[in-house]
């Protein structure tokens, strides 16, 4: 990719002694973060530049934490568990969705227990985020769709969060308008740099919004799905979003109606749910996940992990076991084997 090669050439011209760590996967695992921290310390590095989507940026945050504070990355799960800030962190996002480049969240998979865990601290907010639409020009249509829907979910959940404020409302509402205006254009093969720039700006505004207002049930259930079944985070959010809105609507009717207004929709439950459902389908995102084996043990694991996720704390209403199970039942289906 020309844009990536250009970044590396600029780095090499200004930093004669640098090294690259790329031993990580989607949904970054705890052991990958530990390998990265070991690599960072072994090579006596003093700065991290994270290039890519949410996975490499979250892994970079985790490497930063351990390289300065020691211990194991899972020691820092929860809110404000980090004592010392890490080395300077520069992020160059290549997707318009995660908001990891500006947020105080780092999501790391507990590989032993198959749970995605949240580390939340101002000390993991990157020092510099370089936002540019050019990396999106090489992104597949599928990734444009699911990362864009991830950003839209960030904005919607931040707007209805019980921790929202006037400041987060400004960013969340702007993100909703930008993403709604641009996501289908960015998905289209005739997309322009202007469309991609709007998606990057939408993701940026959404990231600032949720970093300060937190999230809700969509992310709680998505983190569980991603951890247990190793599914793409943006795809999980996309499929869950309309179902969680349907559950939450009566608890935050005024705010959801305001979101509908931002989107130019009629102010009612069906209008916003139908719009989200039609949007995901137009972006080639399926309505359900099909899994090889769906049993009671798997469902109980999914439900337990979701109910223990910190994102549920700021959801506009409480969910119990049955509520979570009903939502999962709507989106998870066992494959038919012939």
- Verify that 102 and 174 share a domain, yes or no: no
Helix (H, G, I), strand (E, B) or coil at 146: helix
- Verify that 197 and 329 share a domain, yes or no: yes
Q: Is the model's pLDDT at 188 over the cut of 80?
A: yes
**Residue 134 domain flag:** no
CA gyration radius, the chain: 19
Average pLDDT of the residues in 186-205:
95
Last residue of a domain, one of 99, 129, 159: 129
- Verify that 118 and 188 share a domain, yes or no: no
CATH number of the domain bearing residue 231? 1.20.1090.10
CATH number of the domain bearing residue 57? 3.40.50.1970
Q: According to the model, what pLDDT value does residue 327 have?
A: 97
Average pLDDT of the residues in 241-262:
97
Q: Give, as one character, the DSSP assignment of residue 114.
A: T
In the chain, alpha helices (H): 2-14, 30-42, 54-69, 141-160, 166-187, 193-213, 217-229, 233-248, 253-262, 269-282, 296-307, 321-331
- Verify that 122 and 208 share a domain, yes or no: no
pLDDT tens readout for residues 126-167? 999 999 999 999 999 999 999 999 999 999 999 999 999 999
State how far the Cα of 319 lies from the Cα of 321, in Å rounded to an integer: 7
- Verify that 91 and 208 share a domain, yes or no: no
- Verify that 279 and 246 share a domain, yes or no: yes
Whether 133 contacts 193, CB under 8 Å: yes
18: tokens are: 């640098």
- Verify that 207 and 314 share a domain, yes or no: yes
pLDDT tens readout for residues 292-334? 877 888 899 999 999 999 999 999 999 999 999 999 999 998 8
Whether 24 contacts 59, CB under 8 Å: yes
Q: According to the model, what pLDDT value does residue 337 have?
A: 55
**Residue 34 domain flag:** yes
Look at strands 89-93 and 78-79 and give their pairing.
unpaired
**Average pLDDT of the chain?**
95
Q: Is the model's pLDDT at 189 over the cut of 90?
A: no
Average pLDDT of the residues in 57-70:
97
- Verify that 102 and 7 share a domain, yes or no: yes
- Verify that 102 and 167 share a domain, yes or no: no
Average pLDDT of the residues in 65-73:
97
Average pLDDT of the residues in 287-292:
88
**Residue 62 domain flag:** yes
- Verify that 163 and 296 share a domain, yes or no: yes
Last residue of a domain, one of 129, 162, 182: 129
**Residue 291 domain flag:** yes
What domain count does the chain have?
A: 2
Range of the domain at 234: 139-334
Q: According to the model, what pLDDT value does residue 230 have?
A: 86
Last residue of a domain, one of 77, 110, 129: 129
Average pLDDT of the residues in 197-202:
97
61: tokens are: 């945050």
Q: Is the model's pLDDT at 338 over the cut of 60?
A: no
Average pLDDT of the residues in 236-250:
97
- Verify that 124 and 162 share a domain, yes or no: no
- Verify that 40 and 96 share a domain, yes or no: yes
Angle between helices 193-213 and 141-160 (to 10 degrees): 40
Q: According to the model, what pLDDT value does residue 331 have?
A: 95
**Residue 63 domain flag:** yes
Q: Is the model's pLDDT at 233 over the cut of 60?
A: yes
Of 13, 87, 100, 11, the residue nearest 52 (C-alpha): 100
Burial 42-61 (b: 16+ CB within 10 A, else e): eeebeebbbbbbbbbbbbbb
State how far the Cα of 322 lies from the Cα of 289, in Å rounded to an integer: 19
**Residue 61 domain flag:** yes
Whether 168 contacts 223, CB under 8 Å: no
Handedness of CA 110, 116, 122, 124 (dihedral sign): positive
């Amino acid at each position: 990719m020309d844009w990536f090669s250009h970044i590396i050439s600029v780095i090499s011209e200004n930093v004669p002694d640098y090294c690259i760590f790329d031993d990580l996967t989607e949904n970054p695992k705890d052991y990958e973060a530990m390998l990265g921290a070991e690599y960072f310390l072994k090579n006596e590095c003093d700065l991290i530049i994270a290039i890519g989507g949410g996975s490499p940026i979250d892994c970079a945050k985790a490497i930063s934490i351990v390289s300065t504070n020691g211990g194991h990355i899972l020691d820092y799960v929860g809110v404000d568990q980090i004592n010392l800030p890490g080395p300077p962190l520069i992020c160059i996002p290549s997707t318009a969705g995660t908001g990891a480049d500006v947020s105080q969240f780092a999501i790391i998979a507990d590989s032993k227990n198959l749970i995605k865990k949240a580390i939340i601290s101002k000390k993991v907010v990157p020092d510099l985020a370089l936002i540019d639409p050019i990396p999106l020009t090489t992104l597949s249509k599928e990734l444009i769709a699911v990362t864009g829907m991830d950003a839209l979910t960030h904005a919607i959940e931040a707007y209805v969060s019980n921790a929202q404020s006037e400041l987060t409302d400004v960013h969340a509402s702007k993100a909703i308008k930008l993403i709604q205006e641009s996501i289908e254009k960015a998905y289209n093969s005739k997309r322009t740099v202007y469309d991609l720039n709007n998606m990057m700006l939408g993701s940026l505004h959404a990231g600032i919004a949720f970093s300060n207002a937190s999230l809700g049930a969509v992310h709680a259930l998505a983190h569980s799905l991603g951890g247990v079944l190793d599914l793409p985070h943006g795809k999980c959010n996309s499929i869950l979003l309309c179902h969680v809105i349907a559950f939450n609507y009566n608890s935050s009717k005024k705010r959801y109606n305001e979101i509908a207004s931002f989107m130019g929709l009629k102010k009612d439950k069906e209008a916003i749910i139908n719009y989200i459902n039609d949007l995901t389908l137009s972006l080639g995102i399926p309505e359900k996940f099909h899994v090889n084996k769906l049993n009671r043990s798997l469902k109980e694991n999914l439900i337990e992990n979701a109910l223990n996720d910190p994102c549920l704390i700021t959801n506009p209403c409480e969910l119990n076991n049955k509520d979570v199970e009903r939502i999962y039942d709507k989106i998870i289906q066992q494959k038919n084997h012939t």
